[in-house]
Each structure stands twice: as C-alpha cells, then as structure tokens.
Amino acid sequence: MKFGKQVLTGAVLAVLLAAPLGAGAADTKAVVSDSWITSKTKIALFGDQRVKGSQVSVTTTHGMVYLHGKVDSAEAKSAAAAVAKGIDGVQSVKNDLQVVPPTTRKAVDANDKDIAKAVESRLSRDGQLKKVDVRADAGVVTLSGSVPSINASAKASETARAVPGVKAVKNELALNQ
C-alpha cells in the first residue's frame, strides 16, 4: 500500500508543478501565434504577384498586423492589405504602406533616412523623449514606444513636425503605466 501512496503523491506533485507552466504556456502561445501570423503573412506577400514582398515589412501584435514600407502603386498597397487579411488568426490590418513610384524611390529613401536622423536627434535632447522610436516613409514620420505623459506625447509630435521635410506625423506613442 505504501507504493500506491508514493505513486499518488508523485502524480499530485506533478500536477501541481505543471500548473504554473500551463499558465505561462498561454502567454507563450500568444507570442508564437503573432510570430506565426507574421511569418505566414510575409510568405504570402512574397508569393503574390501583385506585391513585391521585399518592399513590405510586417509585424504582428495580438493578432493585429502592421504593414510598413514603400510599394510601387496603390494597387500593390491594397493587395498587400488583402493578402494580410486572408491569413488565419489575423484580427485586423493596419496598412501604413506608402505609395512611392520606382522613379522617385532613391530620392525618397535617402531623404527619409535624413528626416529620421534629424527627428531622433531633436527628440534625444529631451530626457522624456530619448526612447521614442522614429520611422520615416515618404516624409511621413511614425513615432512609437512609450512616454510618461500626454504632454510628452504631444511634444514629440510637435518636435517631429518642426523638422524640415516632414509631411505628416503619426503618433503611436503609448503612455507609461
């Protein structure tokens, strides 16, 4: 009978030890799922004749797919969104693709790098804005990351908008909590 109690005790111990792992597995599943959606979307974009997959950057957060980059036409931009929406597990798509004809691509790419550097330089002068991520696409600056207050978020937008060459600012900053 002692052998039966040891087996039962071992089984109970195994269940108790596995419980915390099971809870953590749900968090891991969400991350794996987002990463799977991103990979599946990239593969689908490379396989679609309407879109040059190399022109599109894809990220996924909680089932929301974000498309960034520069494409050759409005049709390619629409096609990329349609492809992303067709992937299993996609909750929604945020299409931030910029339409830039190939003839103007080099000038726009070079200018975007200069714009992003200038915005980053100005933001780095303020302690509250040093960790703001900056991306520029065809003169449209996207700010992401987190800031301590709504005032800091507004200041980041104003600072970016004041940089020569910036056509618009997309403020995607989150507030620290």
Structural domain boundaries in the chain: 34-99, 103-175
Digit-coded pLDDT (tens) for 115-155: 999 999 999 999 999 889 999 988 889 999 889 999 999 99
Model pLDDT, residue 98:
87
DSSP for 118-150, please give it.
HHHHHHHTSGGGTT-EEEEETTEEEEEEEESSH
Model pLDDT, residue 103:
80
User: Looking at domain 103-175, which CATH architecture does it have?
Assistant: 2-Layer Sandwich (3.30)
For residue 11, the SS3 value is: helix
Model pLDDT, residue 15:
39
| Domain covering 34-99 assigned CATH 3.30.1340.30 in the classification | yes
Run means of pLDDT, 10 residues per run, the chain, 177 residues: 46 41 44 82 92 89 90 94 94 91 74 92 92 89 92 93 89 86
Q: At residue 40, what is the residue type?
A: K
Identical fold for domains 34-99 and 103-175, yes or no, is yes
- Contact (CB, 8 A) for 118 and 163: yes
Task: Compute, in degrees rounded to 10, the torsion defined by CA atoms 26, 28, 29, 33.
Answer: 150
Model pLDDT, residue 110:
67
